[in-house]
Amino acid sequence: MKAAYIHIPFCEHICFYCDFNKVFLKGQPVDEYIEALLREMKIQLEITPVKELETIFVGGGTPTVLDENQLDRLCNGIRSILPFQNGEFTFEANPGDLSDEKLSILHEYGVNRLSFGVQSFNNELLKKIGRTHTSDDVFETLNKARNAGFENISIDLMYALPGQTENDFRSTLKTALDLDLPHYSSYSLIVEPKTIFYNLMRKGKLHLPSEDVEARMYDILMTEMEKHGLHQYEISNFAKPGYESKHNLVYWDNEEYFGFGAGAHSYVEQVRKSNFGPVKKYIHHLDKEELPIFEQHKLTKQEMMEEEMFLGLRKNNGVSLSLFKEKYEENVLNVFGDAISEMVERKLLEIVDNRIKLTKEGRFLGNEVFQSFLLL
């Protein structure tokens, strides 16, 4: 066990595209939630003791909407309960949310990586997608973070947004790259059920770029990142050498991790679990000193092998044939021979240096490739 994910489900505003487990902050039992969260950590660690975690990732929601006292309580509890020394400790944040005092608290407790949801530097487009910050908020917050001693900073960008043009995306990319950060993530918009955008789409009121325009934006993204010395190590992630997200690599390497918090998912001892999402129901279970498990499923060997492929192929260095054999005592070419042959023939996959990996063409059709490894 290398990693722990911690979920803070509170937001001051709900973005139009977001389908993560979240609630409006106002009127929520935030202090009680933090205590329940720390209780869950203690109970889980008693059941599944681990010597040391290498990464902690606090996401949401918006973790930085917590006030200074709540943030201090959370960080203090994490440090007291989880076996974590000097690994990668990430907090997600929104531009404009981080006061100097909050940054000081995070730094004091050893948080050493910040991930900001920037999405775009076009202020009109930010309004269209339900974001409340402006591009000036981004510059101001990044300056504060750097002055507080944070060097390992990542920002998220989105493309294929409603009304977005290729030139607009180029402009956002230029502004982002001029910041000279060590890590960038960039995703195309996916319209998920139970979001404001989904409701607009059903009414015919959501006007998105075509698939061809989306593909050209992705090509622009890969080209510009490479020009600026940022290595694409996963379909949507780019980093300077040594700044890859160690926490996210745990997911893509199909390794196990704890998930704490309302709606959080975990993968422990070959069992995938999800917690209850409603905050009060989550707290209720922990008030009774029991884990708030909503559902769980023990993976079969077949399911584990499938996940090894469709998670591992997200990485640019792909899946190691020898590591697959070591983990599952099976030859990947025997298990998935037909799918691999078809994808190699279509030039979407290649086998190089004992690894199966996506070609550049394959990155554009990643989901189609991944689905081919689901054995029916």
Is there a domain that residue 192 lies in? yes
Strands (E), the chain: 3-8, 10-11, 23-24, 53-60, 84-93, 113-119, 152-159, 183-188, 231-234, 237-239, 257-260, 265-268, 271-275, 293-298, 319-320, 349-352, 355-358
pLDDT tops 70 at residue 376 = no
Among residues 233, 252, 271, which one ends one of the domains? 252
Q: Can you give the CATH number for the domain in which 35 is found? A: 3.20.20.70
Same domain, 248 and 305: no
Q: Is residue 117 part of a domain?
A: yes
| pLDDT at residue 191, rounded to an integer | 82
Within-domain flag for 33: yes
Do residue 246 and residue 305 come from a single domain? no
Strand pairing category for 319-320 and 293-298: unpaired
Instruction: With respect to residue 212, please indicate whether it lies within any of the assigned structural domains.
Output: yes
Residues 307 and 244 in one domain: no
Q: Which two tokens stand for residue 69?
A: 């006292």
Q: Per-residue pLDDT averaged across 318-339, rounded? A: 96
Please count the structural domains in the chain: 2
What is residue 14's predicted lDDT score, i.e. its pLDDT?
Answer: 72
Whether residue 247 is found in the same domain as residue 362: no
Please name every residue paired with 284 in a beta bridge, in sequence order, or none if there are none.
none
For residues 218 and 312, membership in a common domain is answered with no
Which residues pair with residue 319 across a beta bridge?
Answer: 356
Is the model's pLDDT at 88 over the cut of 60? yes
The pLDDT of residue 204 is: 84
CA distances from 144 to 117, 167, 238, 245 (A): 16, 30, 23, 22
Q: In which domain, by residue range, is 351 found?
A: 301-371
pLDDT at 13: 78
Domain CATH for 345: 1.10.10.920
Examine residue 327 and state whether it is found in any structural domain, yes or no.
Answer: yes
pLDDT of residue 197: 82
315 shares its domain with 218: no
Stretch 42-71: mean pLDDT, rounded? 96
Residues 227 and 354 in one domain: no
pLDDT tens sequence across 183-209: 999 999 988 887 888 788 888 888 889
DSSP H or E run through 182: none
220 with 344, same domain: the answer is: no
Structural domain contains residue 188: yes
Residue 134 included in any domain: yes
Does residue 241 form part of some domain? Answer: yes
pTM, two decimal places: 0.95
Q: What is the pLDDT of residues 207-237, one digit of tens each?
A: 889 999 999 999 999 999 999 999 999 999 9
What's the whole-number average pLDDT of the chain?
A: 95
Q: Which residues of 36-59 are buried (b: 16+ CB within 10 A; e: fewer)?
A: bbbbbbeebeeeeebeebbbbbbb
Mean pLDDT, residues 157-170: 96
Same domain, residue pair 245 and 313: no
| Spatial contact of 242 and 249, defined as CB atoms under 8 Å apart | no
Q: Tell me: do 19 and 130 sit in the same domain.
A: yes
**Better-scored residue on pLDDT, 21 or 298:** 298
